[in-house]
């Protein structure tokens, strides 16, 4: 997936604003090109170590993406205290979204680290994103 630096910075800002809670949202795309970010509120019982998208906000974001004739290019969330590698919780959640890309923002250690994954059943592999300037 290609993503403009401005959208990536918006996702990182969301992660920092929500820390120490995990943030979450959707990335709208067209033909593998990210075009918009849709923040969704995290309503998990323990939002410091998990995320669960607020249902109405998730529905509205998905509707907006569909109405704009776009697709969900990725689901994003943050790991405020760990590396941006899928957790067991992430892998379990991914079963509901087969084939989806997952972008994770890791905030441990100061500088954010962003990695994108595909999770299939109990396995995950990196699915690199390309940052575009301009």
User: Catalytic residue numbers?
Assistant: 22
Residue 86 to residue 84: CA distance in whole angstroms: 7
Report whether 102 contacts 74 (CB < 8 A): yes
Residue 102 to residue 113: CA distance in whole angstroms: 14
Please name the helix (run of DSSP H) or strand (run of DSSP E) that holds residue 114, with its range, or none.
strand 113-120
Q: What residues have CB less than 8 Å from 88, skipping those under 6 apart?
A: none
What does the angle CA 48 – CA 119 – CA 19 come to, to the nearest 5 degrees?
Answer: 20
Rounded to 5 degrees, what are φ and ψ at 128?
-55, 150
- HSE, CB side, 13 Å, CA atoms: give it for residue 79: 21
């Amino acid at each position: 997936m290609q993503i403009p630096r401005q959208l990536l910075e918006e996702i990182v800002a969301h992660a920092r604003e929500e820390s120490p809670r995990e943030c979450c949202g959707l990335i709208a795309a067209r033909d593998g090109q990210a075009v918009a970010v849709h923040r969704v509120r995290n309503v998990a019982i323990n939002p410091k170590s998990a995320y669960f998208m607020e249902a109405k906000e998730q529905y509205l974001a998905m509707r907006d993406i569909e109405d704009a004739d776009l697709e969900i290019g990725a689901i994003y969330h943050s790991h405020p205290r760990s590396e941006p590698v899928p957790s067991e919780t992430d892998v379990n959640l991914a079963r509901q979204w087969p084939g989806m890309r997952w972008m994770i923002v890791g905030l441990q250690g100061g500088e954010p680290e962003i990695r994108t994954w595909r999770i299939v059943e109990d396995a995950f592999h990196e699915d690199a994103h390309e940052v575009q300037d301009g």
